[in-house]
Amino acid sequence: MKTFNIGGVHPHDNKLNTEAPVKELPIPQQVCVMVSQHLGAPSQPIVKKGDKVKVGTVLTQNDAFLGAVVHSPVSGTVNKIADIPDASNYPKPAIFIDVEGDEWEESIDRSPDIKREIELDAPAIIQKVKEMGIVGMGGACFPTHVKLMPPKDAKAEFLLLNGVECEPYLTCDYRLMLDHAEEILIGASILMKALGVPQAIVGIEANKPKAIEHMSEVAKSFPGISVQALKMKYPQGAEKQLIKALTGRAVPSGKLPINVGCVVDNVATCYAVYQAVQKNMPLIQRTVTVTGPSIKEPTNFLARFGTPVSAFLEAVGGVPEDTGKVISGGPMMGKSIMSAEATSVKGMSGILVLPEKQAHRNNIYPCIRCGKCVDACPMGLEPYLIASATAAKDFDKTEKARVMDCIECGCCQFTCPSNRSLLDNVKLGKATVGKIIRARNAK
């Protein structure tokens, strides 16, 4: 079975209650829609207090190339525009909407039929994807239309669908592949048409045999799309590792997937593209896994954006007594949040509740130079060296140790027997070296 070639770790996958169907989360009384939910230039709100909005009404504008707009996930009245903390724990502007009923824009096709024929041509598809605010839903929130416009000197050859879901605990993509395989693959066909590529490969890890089976079955009726089972190994869902696993190509340092002819999109993104292009439906909701060892019934919820974390937690029976940490995303790369005020956004794939026992960092021992971090690094770096150089503020050395290649997957820190804060140091080094490089380039 295929996988990427160097490094990687095997965390326990902890996929809990995977067979339970996706539940629709009731729309809360008030939603707080973050103004910027993508990677790139921030958006500006175009609604003001007192405005009436419907589901699908455009709330923000963004003229930047690397920009994405946000649509109203509910119908109601804009209450205010104010700052609330997001998953980064920093206050960011959000649009508060008081919910009244559930009235949708007329242009949205809400019928349950699946529409296979793709009527739009490539430029129209890209325009549609941009208008509907589609961003990468794996977590990075990179605006999808940008990926569909490769630079002149690069040619896309493969579309790779990321159904790996290598993060422990998360099951939202798995459920989506079981419930909406056909839509995902139509979405993939749309992206293939937009990119002009003949071939698409869906990568799914071996711990999801049902999804592999179902997707392969459905893919038979889609020419050019194949499903590839992958050996379980974290971080297979990382872009570079997935490309390596599926095509054998390696994205060189500092280059993008398109430089080796690949475009990678999450299966959830494909589903969103399907809905945007075929159903005219903007990105207003997503599947969110609410899970954790202490949660009685871990569930996948279909929830509108702007729903506070507290509403998700109440839906699974409230915050357990012994909760020590709440994470937006998975346990390997997710962000721990300070309060349940934060609301769901396009990139929030899961809410993981860890009990007190698992919430803390372990005691740190001296580095015993075992080299396990070196073996685990999927980029072939030496995390111990980067970390120690950063701690010594020797940023020249940090840079020479190729810190900028780090994908921040956390394998080094996961595997370190001395429980050292390797990734913390590496990230600090990466941020500092990034600044140094930018300052140097500016000269």
What CA–CA distance (Å, rounded) separates 101 from 332? 38
Is 359 a binding residue for another protein by CB under 8 A? The answer is yes
Q: Mask of contacts with another protein, 146-185, x by CB under 8 A? A: ----------------------x-----------------
Q: Mask of contacts with another protein, 323-342, x by CB under 8 A? A: xxxxx---xxxxxxxxxx--
Is 49 a binding residue for another protein by CB under 8 A? The answer is no
* Closest CB to another protein among residues 67, 378: 378
C-alpha 405, offset from chain centre: 20
* Closest CB to another protein among residues 64, 370: 370
Identify which of 83, 88, 33 has the alpha carbon closest to the alpha carbon of residue 60.
Answer: 33
Q: Which of 66, 114, 206, 370 binds another protein (CB under 8 A)?
A: 370
Q: Mask of contacts with another protein, 423-442, x by CB under 8 A? A: xxx-xx--xx----------
- Total residues interacting with another protein, rule: CB under 8 A: 80
* Closest CB to another protein among residues 147, 244: 244
Q: How far is the CB of 368 from another protein (least distance, A)?
A: 5
Q: How far is the CB of 442 from another protein (least distance, A)?
A: 18
* Closest CB to another protein among residues 268, 385: 385
- Please check whether residue 387 is in contact with residue 426, taking contact to mean a CB–CB distance below 8 angstroms: yes
Q: How far is the CB of 56 from another protein (least distance, A)?
A: 31
Q: Which of 140, 368, 392, 437 binds another protein (CB under 8 A)?
A: 368
Q: How far is CA 423 from CA 49, 121, 178, 410, 429, in A?
A: 43, 44, 34, 6, 9
* Closest CB to another protein among residues 111, 363: 363
Q: How far is the CB of 329 from another protein (least distance, A)?
A: 8
Burial annotation 39-60 (CB, 10 A radius, 16+ → b, else e): bbeebebebeeebebbbbbbbb
Q: How far is the CB of 224 from another protein (least distance, A)?
A: 27
Which residues neighbour 372 within 8 Å (Cβ) at sequence distance 6 or greater? Answer: 415, 416, 417
Q: Which of 8, 11, 133, 350 binds another protein (CB under 8 A)?
A: 11
What's 254's DSSP letter?
T
Q: How far is the CB of 258 from another protein (least distance, A)?
A: 15
What CA–CA distance (Å, rounded) separates 87 from 428? 19
Is 357 a binding residue for another protein by CB under 8 A? The answer is no
CA-based torsion, 98, 100, 103, 105: positive or negative: negative
Q: Mask of contacts with another protein, 89-128, x by CB under 8 A? A: xxx-------------------------------------
Identify which of 97, 57, 46, 50 has the alpha carbon closest to the alpha carbon of residue 76.
Answer: 97
Binding to another protein (CB under 8 A) within 201-260 occurs at 240, 244, 250-253
Q: How far is the CB of 31 from another protein (least distance, A)?
A: 17
Q: How far is CA 88 from CA 67, 342, 349, 438, in A?
A: 19, 9, 15, 23
What CA–CA distance (Å, rounded) separates 428 from 297? 37
Which residues neighbour 116 within 8 Å (Cβ) at sequence distance 6 or greater? Answer: 186
